[in-house]
Amino acid sequence: MELLADLKKGKRGAIAKAITIMENDQKEAKKIIKKIFKDTGDSIIIGITGPAGAGKSSLINKTSVEMKKLGTKPAVLAIDPTSHVTGGAILGDRVRMTESTDSGTYIRSIASRGATGAVSRSLRNSIRILEYAGFNPIIIESVGAGQTEVEISNIADITVVVFNPNTGDSIQTIKAGLTEIGDIYLVNKSDLAGTNQLFDAVRDFIGDSVRNPTILKTSVKKNSGIALFAKTLKEMMISKKKFKKEKDQKRLEAELKDIVLNNIKEKMDHMLDSDKSFSKYLKKLQTKNIDPFYAGDKITKSLLK
């Protein structure tokens, strides 16, 4: 396939086309993954997440430039929230990342398409496309909504949680479960008032944990702390490489379960559409002659005969 040859050379048109296939054409996506799978899995995945408004896109823009100076070849997948009504996405991250694009970083926005925790189903395979094209690390920027942070930490080798002093509920957010996922915690927009108080709060809630994560301050506006952040990431990439095989085994187990469950769901949806007992019990349920649990149990038994 000419597409695969161009992918291996890192040609941008081929990368864009392949990721579009991952998003929109399941049949073709399976063919590509079958051919490239053995040559993927070596790149370090960096997940960058945190509350909306933390300044993640601008931070990634500057950090990618610094990481390139350190001899790495970064690529960015920015997950955009998708409208449940129209299915459209903002896809505006590239506008805020022109500097890193000009320096050679590949940036792609992926619509979440309503997948659980706003993590796109095509994300894993888009990562594989970028790995095959020679990028390392691959930076995933999440929308920072709901369970996304935890899901990103399951996909990433290094998880970075970003806060800023203007996020009024940052302390509450810290309490709400982010304490267990971050390898690095960043107080971004550190040129703003309240930085020191937020930094102290993060250190008090998170810094004393057994995991002993790194806590840093960054400011895109003043271009401060970003070189140190990039250097910390580069050092962490080397140390995390030792544990990558073990983490990849867990990720593949989770992926296989997802695929099997998704296949079963698709098959069940098809069976329900043509199942006479489903229609029968649905009518009884709608007239309130039976309750939903009774109907569900009866339909399940009829399908599993």
Does some domain include residue 166? yes
* Residues 156 and 227 reside in one and the same domain: yes
Does some domain include residue 140? yes
* Residues 64 and 202 reside in one and the same domain: yes
Query: Span 115-142, mean pLDDT?
Result: 82
* Domain ranges, residue 297: 257-304
Does some domain include residue 249? no
* Residues 300 and 224 reside in one and the same domain: no
* Residues 93 and 176 reside in one and the same domain: yes
Count Cα neighbours of 200 within 13 Å in the Cβ-side half-sphere: 4
Q: What are the backbone angles phi and psi of residue 225, rounded to the nearest 5°?
A: 80, -10
Q: Which of these three, 243, 272, 287, is where a domain ends?
A: 243
- CATH for 163: 3.40.50.300
Query: Span 116-139, mean pLDDT?
Result: 83
Tens of pLDDT, residue by residue over 173-200, are 565 566 678 899 999 988 888 888 888 8
Does some domain include residue 20? no
Does some domain include residue 283? yes
Q: What are the backbone angles phi and psi of residue 98, rounded to the nearest 5°?
A: -65, -35
Q: How far is CA 153 from the centre of its chain?
A: 8
* Residues 261 and 239 reside in one and the same domain: no
Whole-structure pTM value? 0.84
Does some domain include residue 195? yes
* Residues 132 and 96 reside in one and the same domain: yes
* Residues 293 and 145 reside in one and the same domain: no
Tens of pLDDT, residue by residue over 196-249, are 888 888 888 776 666 788 999 999 999 999 999 999 999 999 999 998 999 899
* Residues 140 and 201 reside in one and the same domain: yes
- Count of the separate structural domains present in the chain: 2
* Residues 199 and 150 reside in one and the same domain: yes
